[in-house]
Each structure stands twice: as structure tokens, then as C-alpha cells.
Amino acid sequence: MLNRQSGDQSSDEESTGNERLRSSRQALRRSSSRAASALKIEVAPYDQSRAPTPAASLSRGARVVRVNVPWSGSTPPPKFPSNYVSNTKYNVFTFLPKNLFEQFRRVANSYFLMICILTQTPVSPQNGYPFLVALLFVLLVNMVREAYEDLKRYRSDKRINNRPAQVCRAGKFITITWKEVVVGDLVQVKRDEEFPADVVLLSSSSPSGACYIETANLDGESNLKSRQSLPETKYLADETQLSSYAAVLECEAPNAQLYKFDSSICPVGAASARPLGPDQFLIRVRDPVLPPLSSVARPLGPDQFL
């Protein structure tokens, strides 16, 4: 009798445990289905129409240059920096205060200035004039040296800014100075001449549209490098064709990358734009005999239209 009751009790406990296990499995199944439905909502298909195009990604901070395309009245032309080169540190009005500020940033000059001030007080047992004369002599010598070096930079900048350049304006080539070259000009560079600015190669006197440049001052390599114009622009060979050529060029903002150039050019009336890369980009590199920022490069191939 006792064994039968214990057996019934154990069977009841077993059935109770099975029901609990079954209910827990059902609850787990329901929670899994809810999680799966929530997951489906979270990973809904992405709308490809909202994906940015390469042109849109390039337009962030890009520069738009129009060649023989006038700007409309509602769209004012952008203001680009001039091609004027200036490496000078001072001018007539800022030379004295700026030079004194830079000299007294040095600890030694500031120390001797404090000594001169202290020696001029009544409590000082020494005469402060020898210290003052020595300090003034050092400051004067430094001023003369800075003025001479800045004068050499000014003369070098003046020589570079007044170099002649051939540009196509109003249907004919005219001679202007480097500082007068503006963004969007069509520049003609002949053999052994230097680039007046960073330019894009449109055509050359070679039938293949190729030219050769030397970049020894840029990367130390003395061998000539080949640059190739686009097939759509290599036919531009005279003033008539250049004056009638109209296009819109979009390029990335200025950066320090020498071997990367993301740009595109779209001739007026064309269905799509053509990409431009480093093969069409000619950099105005630095000449070691000139101060920084007065960068030049020497094209050694045929005449180019840029």
C-alpha cells in the first residue's frame, strides 16, 4: 500500500515536471519567434536609391572649375586663391614688432632682458649699461640678418611671379606673368619650360597626346615620367579648337598626396564625364635653389596645352 502511494506520487511529480518543461519550451519558442520577427524588422532591405554616388562623394569639399563656360547670374563664381607666390615673413610695418617678438621668445634673450631691467633699479650694485649694450647688439645683428634673408626671398618671389606664361584668352594666345594665371586658364607650356601652376594635361604636340616630365626635385628620380592626355582632348592643337572647347572640371580639394588625383572632366554637350587621374596631373614641384612654395617643374616633352 505504501509502495503504491509512493509510486503514484512520483508519477504525479514526473507529470508535473513534464508539463513545466513543455510550458518552458513553448515560452522559449514564442520568445524566439518574437526575437526573429524583431530581427527581421531591424535588417530590412537597404534602399539602394539612397546610396551616395561617386560624384556625390567627390562633391564633398570638391572644387568646380569651368573652362570657357561662363557662370550664370544666380551662381556666383567661386573665389580661388591667386597664383601669386609670397615667401616673405615680414613687410615694412610688421618687421620691427614681429622680429622683436620672435627674438624674445628665446629664453636667453628674455633672461638678459630681465637682467637689464633689474640692473637699472636703485638696489642693483652693478651698472646695467654693459648688459643693455650687449643685448642691443645681439638684437641688431639678428635684425640685419633677418632683413637680408627676407629681402632675398622677396627678390626670388618677384622673379618667379614675373615669369612669362602663354595662356589662351578670347581665342588667342597672350603672354602674361605667372601671378596673373587664374584657375580655368588654358596654359601652353613648351619644351624645357616650367609649369606656372599645378595643371591638367589636355593635349600635346605629339599625335598620341603624351608628354614627358622630370620630377627629380619632387621624388629624387631623374628618369623621365610619361603623362598621357585623354583621347577626347588630345585633338586640341590650335587657338581655334582651344577657344571653342568648353568643359566643367570637378576635382578634389588641395591635399598633400602627390601620387593621387581624383577628378573628372565633362565637356559641354557630353553625355557623361570622364575621370582624370595622376596620368593627367602635372605638379608644380619645388626647385631646391628657390625658397619653399616657389615650386617649379620642367616638362621635357613636346609642347603641351594645359
Pairwise CA distance, residues 139 & 109, whole Å: 9
Closest CA to 85 of 169, 180, 151: 180
Specify the pLDDT at position 44.
Answer: 34
What is the pLDDT at residue 136? Answer: 92
The torsion angles phi and psi of 7, rounded to 5 degrees, stand at: -70, -40
The pLDDT assigned to 11 comes to: 54
pTM over 0.85: no
Spans of the chain below 50 pLDDT: 1-9, 32-59, 287-305
Each residue's pLDDT tens digit, 150-191: 999 999 999 999 999 999 887 788 899 999 998 888 888 888
Tell me the residue type at 48: Q
CA distance 152 to 149: 5
The strand ranges marked E within 78-161 are none
Task: Give me the residues paired with residue 211 across strands.
Answer: 227
Which residue has 514564442 as its cell numbers? 30
Distance of alpha carbon 76 from alpha carbon 74, whole angstroms: 6
